[in-house]
Every structure is written in structure tokens, then in C-alpha cells.
Amino acid sequence: MSLMTDKQTINDLHLFGKGGNDGIYALFNRTHTKGGSELLEDMFRRPLSDEQAINSRSSVIRYFAEHEVRFPYESHWFDAAEHYLSDTDERTQLSRQEDNLARKFNQIIAADTAYKAIEKGVASLVGILLATRTFINETREQVAGIPYREEIAAMEKLLSNPALQPVLAENGKQKFSFATLSAYDQLLRFRERDTLRRLLDRIYLADAFLSVAKTGRERGYTFPKAVAREQQTVMLENFWHPSLEKPVKNSLEITPEGNVLFLTGANMAGKSTFMKSLGIAMYLGHMGFPVPASRMEFAVRDGIFTTINLPDNLSQGASHFYAEVLRIKNVARELSRDKYLFVIFDELFRGTNVKDAYEATIAVTSAIARRRNCMFIVSTHIIEAGEVLKEKCANIRFMYLPTLLENGKPVYTHKLREGITADRHGMVIINNEGILDILSRKKTEKKTS
């Protein structure tokens, strides 16, 4: 089962960044193979929504991280092997009858490009097969108690194919004769091509898991525990945004009695960063990946939807406010399906006037609070809305990110506190920047040349 999400959420959480180079995916992509990289991307695009599947994957990655399991392959083998296996034209296969004086003469005068490609492909596959046997022998006993034992057993079964035994008897170093290369070409590229494809897929999975394990180990991430969705809880200790070099860590607990978190704070207090950090932790948790926290336990969700960096849709003539309305409408449709969702709304209705934003924030937050099977994080700097909601909804938990004043300048702690903030430091910032002084200056004399 896959977790429901959408493009807006993927963009909000910066999972792939710009060009896939600086997002969360890039932090975990330490793969050695193109196939492993593609499989890792697929995991990012299709998180899990079943606690057993999540915990199973997490246990495998945890094992790889704790035991620092190595990837016993040469990366260049896989590019050569993929290129070689992709050529299924039987007219290109080597034939023993071609091992004649003319061919030998051609190879002396100039390298036969097709022959060299086959030779490289066969050598790469021989190396992959021998390294897989090493990988199996090194991990078979250690993984006996975790789900990855099934992967090892599947690899072992593929290698036990009688047709592959002559190849496995090679030492991986000698140069093949034409006759041997011809026999292996027919065997590997045509007769047992499907066997090798299935083996490569399992190797790519190991590559992806080892990549994630390495990132988690080196960055000090924790492995979360998924529990049944009906428990309606999230427990996060000392979590942070993975892209920050010196992050402020926060802890948070969501319970059935407080399934709506109403977050207030002045501009620049860190609300958006906090919500992104929380969203990333929940998203990675549903992938079975290690998360930037010291501890995490969460009730599995059917879907995660965020609204943090919502763009205007100017091409369709839609204002920012109307884009917000449409986004909430789409999320409301998902909520109406009675699924267990995790929803983040950052700065609801920032695209309209304060009065409308105040009334709409109260109305929408009151409505979603009735969805007790979901979890919501709603942020705003309209603190008056929080005071009204405190009287209307018993299951809303109020928290804020404070702003301190030191020597007349705002200091942002980014540390979560219980309650509703009264911080209003916008004019302090404006005055500190001297904007009003600049605007009130008289026109200066013209500069002389």
C-alpha cells in the first residue's frame, strides 16, 4: 500500500530540490548504480502506508547501518552489463564458426568494437555474479532474523541455476578465449537473460538500502517505529530539519485528545521551518527511512498533504487567496473519504485581508477539528483566532515559537512552547532597518560632476 500525497507536498518538503541536486532525496542518494538511484527515487515517490511493511524495511536498513555492510561490486560493471543485456538482437551474438583467421587478423589490425563490447559485458556480468556470491556468504547468517533473509534466499536461488555454474567457477581475472566468450555470450545475453535481470533488480535494492543506511549512520538519524493508524499518535524527540547545519531541535507529541496543533508565532519566528521539519520526518518515517531525530514513533497515515509554499496560478488568473481556497477544497475532498491523514496548513489565508483571514481561519480550523481520525498542523500569525478556537474546540493543542527582544532587537529561539504567543515585532524590525527614516529624508543636493 502506498501513501497518498501530491506534487504540492513533494515541493513543499523540498524532496527533490531543483534538478534533484539539493533536496532530501540527494541527502540519501549515495548509490553506486543507476538502478539503485532510480529505485531510491521510486521509494521517495511512493512511500508506504502499512506499518508492517514500514517496520520491515526499517529493520533491514537499520541492520545495514549498524553492521556497516559493504557493497562488494565495482560500479562500472553495471553500466557495461546493462548496455550489454539491452542488445537482444540475435544477429550480434558470437558464433564459434567466426573464430577464423579473418577475425583474428581483424583483431590484430584494429579492435573489433562489437567484440570488445561483448567481451566487456561478459566480464562485467562474471564479476557481478562472483561478487554476489561473496555478498551472500558474508550476510547469510547475520540476516537470519530480519526480513532481508528472503532477499538473500532469492539471490542464492538465482545463483544455484545449473547453467550459471561454469561462470561461477571462473576466478574473474583471466581473459576469455573466443570459444569461451562465445559460449558465455549465448548463455548470459540470451538463455539466462531473465535470470540476470532478476538478480540485478535485487542488487539494486541492496544498493538503495545501503545508501540510505550510510546516510542515516553518518548523520546520526534514528529509525522510527510505525504503529497502527487507529492509535492516532506521533511522538518525536529532538527532531530537526535535515538541511540545516546548526539546527534547533524540538520535541512534539500528538495524541487523540489533541489531534490538531495550532501554531502561532511572529513573522520570521520559524513556523514554516518547523512545519517542514515535521512534514519531512513524517514522510521519511512512512518510507521506513531513518529520520533526523533522537526518537520517533508514529501512527501510520493513509496520506500526507501540506500547504506551505503555495504558488499563485497567474496563468489561470487565480490570485494567491483563490489558490489557497482551491487547495483547501482539494484537501477537504480527501478528508471526506474518511481516511487517516496528516495535514499541514501554513499561514492559512495569507492572501486576503486580516478580517477575512481571521474569520476563515476560525471556520476552517473548527471544521477540521471534527475529523478526529486525522492529524492537523495549522499555523497563523493571527493570534486572535487562537483565543476564539480555545473556547470552541477541546481537541486543539496550542503551541508557539517565541521571539525575544534583546537590546531592542528581536531574537528567534525556534524553540517550541505551549500556549499562544502575543509577540508582535513587525514594527520593531521596520524601525531597526531605518525604513521610515529613509522615506522621510529630504531630497539631497544634486551631486556635482
The answer to the question of residue 276 being in a domain is yes
- Stretch 196-225: mean pLDDT: 98
Residue 222 pLDDT exceeds 60: yes
Q: Are residues 138 and 95 in the same domain?
A: yes
| Total domain count, the chain | 2
The answer to the question of residue 300 being in a domain is yes
Q: What pLDDT score does 104 carry? A: 54
Q: Are residues 114 and 172 in the same domain?
A: yes
Q: Are residues 144 and 286 in the same domain?
A: no
The answer to the question of residue 178 being in a domain is yes
Q: Are residues 199 and 302 in the same domain?
A: no
Q: Which residues touch 56 (CB under 8 Å, ≥6 apart)?
A: 147, 288
Domain finish residue from 171, 189, 219: 219
Q: What pLDDT score does 109 carry? A: 40
Residue 354 pLDDT exceeds 90: no
Domain finish residue from 219, 247, 276: 219
The answer to the question of residue 447 being in a domain is no
The answer to the question of residue 446 being in a domain is no
Q: What pLDDT score does 309 carry? A: 85
pTM equals: 0.90
Q: Are residues 285 and 193 in the same domain?
A: no
Residue 156: give its domain's CATH number: 1.10.1420
Q: Which pLDDT tens digit goes with each residue over 299-313?
A: 999 999 999 988 765
Radius of gyration for the alpha carbons in the chain, expressed in angstroms and rounded: 29
Q: Are residues 150 and 188 in the same domain?
A: yes
Are the beta carbons of 205 and 64 closer than 8 angstroms?
Answer: no
**CA–CA separation, 8 and 326 (whole Å):** 12
**CA–CA separation, 180 and 183 (whole Å):** 5
Q: Are residues 78 and 104 in the same domain?
A: yes
Q: Are residues 210 and 336 in the same domain?
A: no
Q: How many angstroms separate the first and last alpha carbons of the chain? A: 74
Q: What pLDDT score does 381 carry? A: 82
Are the beta carbons of 215 and 44 closer than 8 angstroms?
Answer: no
**CA–CA separation, 266 and 253 (whole Å):** 23
In a 3-state reduction of DSSP, which class is residue 118?
helix
Q: Which pLDDT tens digit goes with each residue over 185-209?
A: 999 999 999 999 999 999 999 999 9
Residue 273 pLDDT exceeds 60: yes
Domain finish residue from 185, 219, 253: 219
| Structural domain of 325 | 225-440
Q: Are residues 263 and 312 in the same domain?
A: yes
Q: How high does pLDDT run on average in the chain?
A: 89
